[in-house]
Structure 1
Amino acid sequence: MKKFLIYTAKILLLTLLVAVLLDGLYTKLFMSSHNRGKIEQVFNSKAQKFDVVILGSSRANNHFAAPMFEEKGLKTFNYGMSGGHLFEASLMLKLMIERKYEIKNVILEADLNLSNEHQAEGISAKFLPYIHESKIIKDHFSTEKDFNELYYIPFYRYIKYDSRIGFREAFFTAINKKTNALDHLGYYPLQKHKNGNMKNNIVNLNPLPHNKYYEEIKNLCKTNHINFIAVMTPMCENTAGMNYFEKVKKAYPEIHNYENVVIGDEYFASCGHMNDAGSKIFTARILNDFFEKKINEKK
Structure 2
Amino acid sequence: MQKFILFSAKILLVLLVLMIVLDWSYTTVYLHSSNRGKVENVYNSKAKNYDVVILGSSRSNNHFVPELFEKKGLKTFNYGMSGAHLFEASLMLKLMVERQYSIKNLIIDADLGLSNDKESEAIAAKFLPYIHHSQIIKDHFSGQKDFNALYYIPFYRYVDFDALIGFREMYNTLTNKPTNILDQQGYHPLGHKTGNMKNDIRNLKPIRNKYYEEIKETCRKNNINLIAIMTPMCTNVKGLNYFEKANKIYPEIHNLENAVEGDQYFSSCGHMNDTGARMFTKIVIERFFETK
TM-score range, shorter chain: over 0.9
Could you list the per-position Cα deviations for residues 138-179 of structure 1 after superposition, in whole angstroms to 9, with x for gaps in the alignment?
A: 000000000000000000000000000000000001001121
Work out whether 1:241 is the aligned partner of 2:239. yes
Counterpart residue number, 2:189? 189
Work out whether 1:206 is the aligned partner of 2:202. no
**Which amino acid letter does the alignment assign opposite residue 239 of structure 1?**
V
Could you list the per-position Cα deviations for residues 205-242 of structure 1 after superposition, in whole angstroms to 9, with x for gaps in the alignment?
A: 1100x200000001100110011100000000000000
Alignment equivalent of 1:225, drawn from 216, 220, 223: 223
User: Aligned-pair distance for 1:66?
Assistant: 1.1
Counterpart residue number, 1:272? 270
Could you list the per-position Cα deviations for residues 101-157 of structure 1 after superposition, in whole angstroms to 9, with x for gaps in the alignment?
A: 000000011000100000000100000000000000000000000000000000000
Q: Distance in 2 between matches of 1:178 and 1:30?
A: 14
**Which amino acid letter does the alignment assign opposite residue 225 of structure 2?**
N
Unmatched 5+ residue regions in structure 2?
A: none
Counterpart residue number, 1:133? 133
Counterpart residue number, 2:84? 84
**Which amino acid letter does the alignment assign opposite residue 137 of structure 2?**
I
User: Aligned-pair distance for 1:72?
Assistant: 1.0
User: Aligned-pair distance for 1:51?
Assistant: 0.2
**Which amino acid letter does the alignment assign opposite residue 140 of structure 1?**
H
Counterpart residue number, 2:107? 107
Work out whether 1:177 is the aligned partner of 2:172. no
**Which amino acid letter does the alignment assign opposite residue 214 of structure 1?**
Y
Identity across the alignment (%): 64
**Which amino acid letter does the alignment assign opposite residue 255 of structure 1?**
I
TM-score (norm 2): 0.99
Q: Distance in 1 between matches of 2:178 and 2:23?
A: 23
Counterpart residue number, 1:154? 154
User: Aligned-pair distance for 1:270?
Assistant: 0.2
Paired residue secondary structure (1:84): coil
Paired residue secondary structure (1:151): helix
Q: Distance in 1 between matches of 2:226 and 2:196?
A: 32
**Which amino acid letter does the alignment assign opposite residue 62 of structure 2?**
N
Counterpart residue number, 1:60? 60
**Which amino acid letter does the alignment assign opposite residue 200 of structure 1?**
N
Paired residue secondary structure (1:185): helix
Paired residue secondary structure (2:163): helix
Paired residue secondary structure (1:105): strand
Q: Distance in 2 between matches of 1:215 and 1:118?
A: 14
Paired residue secondary structure (2:4): helix
Paired residue secondary structure (1:292): coil
Could you list the per-position Cα deviations for residues 16-50 of structure 1 after superposition, in whole angstroms to 9, with x for gaps in the alignment?
A: 00000000000000000111100000000000000
Counterpart residue number, 2:120? 120
Q: Distance in 1 between matches of 2:105 and 2:75?
A: 10
Counterpart residue number, 1:72? 72
Paired residue secondary structure (1:221): helix
Q: Counterparts of 1:10-89 in structure 2 under 5 Å? A: 10-89=10-89
**Which amino acid letter does the alignment assign opposite residue 91 of structure 1?**
L
**Which amino acid letter does the alignment assign opposite residue 76 of structure 1?**
T
Q: Distance in 2 between matches of 1:170 and 1:46?
A: 23
Q: Distance in 2 between matches of 1:186 and 1:68?
A: 13
Q: Distance in 2 between matches of 1:67 and 1:19?
A: 45
Regions of 4+ moved over 2 Å? none
* Count of aligned positions: 292
TM-score (norm 1): 0.97
Paired residue secondary structure (2:53): strand
Unmatched 5+ residue regions in structure 1?
A: none
Paired residue secondary structure (2:77): strand
